[in-house]
């Protein structure tokens, strides 16, 4: 008989979260910044990279391209690109995360050639890469896609160009900024994404000697430079991890203090949480949140930054399920990001899914059951629902949690929750 093991998180019935939690470095800032190390002629040293499956996979991708990676005792990471020759990126490495596609811009700019497999990552929609490719073609790249691999090359350096993005794609903007940093002449990106992770990337490139203006605005200008020099740099804190703990405090009627947070990156979420009845105070990089009574359900509609982030939509829907009154969650970024809603229904939530909207009746009594995580943020939504449910919730497909959340069980246990990771052995009976 064959045996399979599965890992599950078991979350016991609800406790009001209390205490302190420290936020890690931002995953979505780390991924492009790790890729940007390829642009430099000398090594860089990065602080505050979160220890996650996704950052590990990204470092593995650079290592497979002959970059020398060292992890220091103080947890900082050195990336030495001097031996990199711009080889093709391996498919098995690329399919682990969508962020691997961020290697395309730097490789093409630095080595005039790149072979990058179409990316993997979360199953939340079609997630095409046309914006990345169209922009690079405008900069003079010759690109063909065959066998699931993007083959890109240029005759000499990439050339600065004026590019208007059809959609303000986050990684699309990042790929083009990195490519333009070493291009000949000026690139102007219109309708650029404005996320804080993009600003952090531009700060790193500028520190290395780049000339980028307008990061965080919808038009970004990049004057290409001859070369860039590796530097020591600090990654910003993760606004999505912080937002997840804020909503966790609200859903459990808790009272917690979140350290290492950039409150200015979470204005839309703070405003919405205040509407639910949460009391929020901010002191520099610490945010306290207390939910003194049952939260009021509040409708949200996801939008590009500085709007309400799609990456906190699943967590918000969990909150609306148990909150007082009906509300609507509208998803405007990805077309297929409500897999968690079906899991909430399994827990007893009264939800109506209509295209890109989910209407919650509110005042649901969620009951713990076996549920499955479908992407990083859905996994966070399920955990929050488990914290608010009666009985025990078992969540499987935990690699999604490990892709995006550092020390998740430890952090929640420190806040008073009862969460344990268990490995089960299943006996698989073969059918003849």
Annotated active-site positions, please?
A: 122
Q: What is the DSSP string of 176-221?
A: HHHHHHTSBSEEEEES----HHHHHHHHHHHHTT-EEE-TTSS-EE
Which tokens sit at 267? 């204005």
Number of residues binding to ligand EPU, judged by CB under 6 A: 26
CA gap 34, 46 in Å, rounded? 8
Reported residue count of the chain is 432
Question: Where is 83: in which H helix or E strand?
Answer: none
Q: Which is nearer to ligand EPU, 25 or 43 (CB)?
A: 25
Residue in 14, 22, 96, 132 binding ligand EPU, rule: CB under 6 A: 132
Which listed range, 65-73, 156-164, 166-174, 358-366, lies at the site for ligand EPU (CB under 6 A)? 166-174
Residue in 129, 152, 298, 378 binding ligand EPU, rule: CB under 6 A: 129
Asked if 252 touches ligand EPU (CB under 6 A), the answer is: no
Asked if 333 touches ligand EPU (CB under 6 A), the answer is: yes
* Beta bridge partners of residue 372, listed in sequence order: 396
The site map against ligand EPU for 181-200 (x = CB under 6 A) is: ------------x-------
Q: Which is nearer to ligand EPU, 1 or 126 (CB)?
A: 126
Q: Which is nearer to ligand EPU, 310 or 315 (CB)?
A: 310
Asked if 251 touches ligand EPU (CB under 6 A), the answer is: no
113-117 β-sheet, strand order: 113-117, 149-153, 142-146
Q: How far is the CB of 377 from ligand EPU (least distance, A)?
A: 5
Asked if the bond preceding 112 is cis, omega within 30° of 0, the reply is no
Residue in 17, 23, 31, 247 binding ligand EPU, rule: CB under 6 A: 31
Asked if 99 touches ligand EPU (CB under 6 A), the answer is: yes
Asked if 126 touches ligand EPU (CB under 6 A), the answer is: yes
CB 387 within 8 Å of CB 356: no
Which listed range, 168-176, 216-224, 258-266, 285-293, lies at the site for ligand EPU (CB under 6 A)? 168-176
Which tokens sit at 16? 């009001």
Q: How far is the CB of 169 from ligand EPU (least distance, A)?
A: 3
Q: How far is the CB of 417 from ligand EPU (least distance, A)?
A: 22
Which listed range, 55-63, 123-131, 155-163, 290-298, lies at the site for ligand EPU (CB under 6 A)? 123-131
Q: How far is the CB of 432 from ligand EPU (least distance, A)?
A: 42
Q: Which is nearer to ligand EPU, 170 or 290 (CB)?
A: 170
Q: Which is nearer to ligand EPU, 130 or 275 (CB)?
A: 130
Q: How many CB atoms lie within 10 A of CB 134?
A: 16
CB 46 within 8 Å of CB 75: no
Q: What is the DSSP string of 414-425?
A: HTT--EEEEEEE
CA dihedral for 100, 268, 303, 345, sign (positive or negative): positive
Residue in 376, 384, 388, 389 binding ligand EPU, rule: CB under 6 A: 376
Q: How far is the CB of 334 from ligand EPU (least distance, A)?
A: 5
Which tokens sit at 293? 């009574």
Which listed range, 35-43, 170-178, 209-217, 272-280, lies at the site for ligand EPU (CB under 6 A)? 170-178
Q: 191: burial class by Cβ within 10 Å (0-12, 13-18, 19+)?
A: middle
Residue in 25, 120, 172, 381 binding ligand EPU, rule: CB under 6 A: 172
Residue in 20, 130, 145, 227 binding ligand EPU, rule: CB under 6 A: 130
Asked if 122 touches ligand EPU (CB under 6 A), the answer is: yes
Residues 6+ apart with CB under 8 A from 193: 165, 168, 169, 170, 172, 173, 304, 305
- CA distances in angstroms from 118 to 91, 127, 134, 192, listed in the order given: 8, 10, 15, 22
CA gap 414, 26 in Å, rounded? 21
Residues of this chain that bind ligand EPU (CB under 6 A): 28, 31, 98-99, 122, 125-132, 167, 169-172, 193, 310-311, 333-334, 376-377, 404
């Amino acid at each position: 008989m064959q045996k399979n093991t599965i890992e599950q998180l078991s979350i016991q019935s609800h406790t009001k979260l209390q205490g302190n939690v420290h936020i890690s470095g931002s995953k979505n800032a780390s991924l492009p910044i790790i890729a940007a190390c390829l642009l430099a002629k000398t090594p860089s040293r990065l602080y505050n990279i979160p220890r996650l499956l996704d950052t590990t996979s990204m470092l593995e991708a650079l290592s497979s391209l002959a970059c020398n990676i060292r992890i220091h005792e103080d947890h900082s990471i050195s990336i030495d690109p001097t031996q990199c020759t711009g080889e093709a990126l391996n498919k098995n490495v690329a399919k682990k995360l969508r962020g691997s596609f961020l290697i395309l811009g730097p490789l093409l700019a630095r080595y005039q050639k790149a072979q990058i497999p179409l990316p993997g990552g979360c199953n939340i929609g079609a997630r095409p890469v046309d914006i990345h490719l169209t922009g690079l073609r405008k900069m003079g790249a010759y690109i063909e896609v065959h066998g699931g691999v993007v083959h890109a090359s240029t005759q000499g350096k990439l050339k600065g160009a004026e590019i208007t993005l059809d959609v303000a794609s986050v990684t699309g903007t990042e790929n083009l900024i990195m490519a333009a940093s070493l291009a000949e002449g000026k690139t102007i990106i219109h309708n650029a994404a404005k996320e804080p992770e993009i600003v952090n990337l531009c700060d790193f490139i500028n520190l290395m000697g780049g000339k980028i203006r307008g990061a965080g605005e919808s038009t970004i200008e990049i004057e290409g430079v001859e070369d860039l020099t590796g530097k020591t740099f600090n990654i910003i804190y993760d606004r999505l991890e912080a937002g997840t703990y804020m909503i966790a405090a609200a859903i459990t009627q808790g009272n917690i203090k979140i350290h290492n947070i950039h409150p200015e990156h979470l204005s839309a979420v703070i405003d919405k949480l205040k509407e639910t009845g949460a009391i929020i105070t901010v002191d520099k990089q610490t945010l306290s949140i207390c939910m003194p009574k049952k939260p009021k359900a509040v409708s949200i509609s996801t939008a590009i930054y500085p709007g309400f982030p799609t990456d906190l939509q699943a967590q918000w829907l969990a909150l609306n399920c148990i909150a007082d009154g009906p509300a609507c969650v509208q998803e405007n970024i990805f077309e297929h990001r409500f897999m968690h809603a079906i899991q909430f229904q399994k827990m007893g939530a009264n939800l109506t899914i209509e295209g890109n909207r989910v209407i919650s009746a509110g005042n649901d009594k969620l009951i713990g059951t076996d549920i499955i995580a479908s992407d990083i943020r859905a996994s966070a939504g399920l955990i929050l629902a488990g914290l608010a449910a009666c009985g025990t919730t078992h969540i499987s497909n935990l690699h999604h949690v490990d892709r995006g959340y550092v020390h998740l069980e430890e952090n929640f246990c420190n806040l008073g929750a009862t969460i344990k990771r268990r490995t089960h052995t299943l006996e698989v009976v073969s059918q003849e």
